[in-house]
Amino acid sequence: LIGERPLDPARDLRGDAGRLTVRVPADVTAAVLDTLPAAFRSGPDDILLTALAAAVPLWRGDRAGLLVDVESHGRHEDLVEGAELSRTVGWFTVTHPVRLDTGTADPRAVLTGTDAAGDALRAVKEQLRATPGQGIGYGLARYCDPATAPGFAELPEAQFGFNYLGRVSLAGALVPGWELAAVGADDAPDVPLSHTVEVTIAAHEGPAGPELA
């Protein structure tokens, strides 16, 4: 259990949540976005989830692995032959749980860049790839199918949420005289929290190149 008690939807609201922003230097970001994906045939989200799956056990002092709800844009056209979503507007968001294990008894070795880091990335990547349909059918199975919903309801819920938003660039997107305001809260303040810890990451353009934050 993370924290002193489970989340209470009547007490634990978005407006009461604390926020911490960490900006990653451009050289490290380049490794996550370009170098490592090319070397391991993976995506940036695989690498970020591997780091999270190593950091949480190190923080908590256990080796139980990490149960995390992974959120994605849901626009997986490759899953449905002939699907073409370029003219659609709105959210297709998909959230599904996955249990990740770096496969090492020493999470610190993963985070310090030893050979264990590559082994952990391969392990986590395969665990993510084993999710049927990239998790797109989880919501139906969890909430709508009477044959599967009761079983899913008995399983423990993830206390961690993860969402990689990809690269965010505003260059050339605005007409002269207009600019985007700062991004505020993404939910109304009275919405109950879904997770004790939520990790939301995007790559923003910085003076030396993209920076994860």
pLDDT, tens digit, 9 for 90 and up, residues 150-159: 999 999 999 9
DSSP 120: H
Structure tokens at 175: 């007409």
Query: What is the structure's pLDDT at 174?
Result: 55
- Domain 21-78+89-171+196-212 classified CATH 3.30.559.30? yes
pLDDT tens-digit readout, 165-174 = 998 776 555 5
pLDDT tens-digit readout, 30-87 = 999 999 999 999 999 999 999 999 999 989 887 778 999 999 887 877 777 888 888 8
* φ and ψ of 135, to 5 deg: 80, 5
3-state secondary structure of 203: strand
Cα gap 38→50, rounded to integer Å: 16
Structure tokens at 192: 């109950």
Domain locations in the chain? 21-78+89-171+196-212
Whole-structure pTM value: 0.88
What is the pLDDT averaged over residues 18-33? Answer: 95
Cα gap 70→163, rounded to integer Å: 6
Contact 104, 119 (CB under 8 A): yes
Q: Which residues of 199-208 are buried (b: 16+ CB within 10 A; e: fewer)?
A: bebebeeeee
Cα gap 163→28, rounded to integer Å: 19
Contact 197, 11 (CB under 8 A): no
Cα gap 8→106, rounded to integer Å: 34
Query: What is the structure's pLDDT at 87?
Result: 84
Cα gap 83→23, rounded to integer Å: 36
Beta strands in 23-141 (DSSP E): 66-72, 94-100
Cα gap 100→66, rounded to integer Å: 5
Which of 37, 24, 34, 29 minimizes the C-alpha distance to 121? 37
Pairing mode of beta strands 94-100, 66-72: antiparallel
Which of 47, 139, 59, 63 minimizes the C-alpha distance to 101? 63
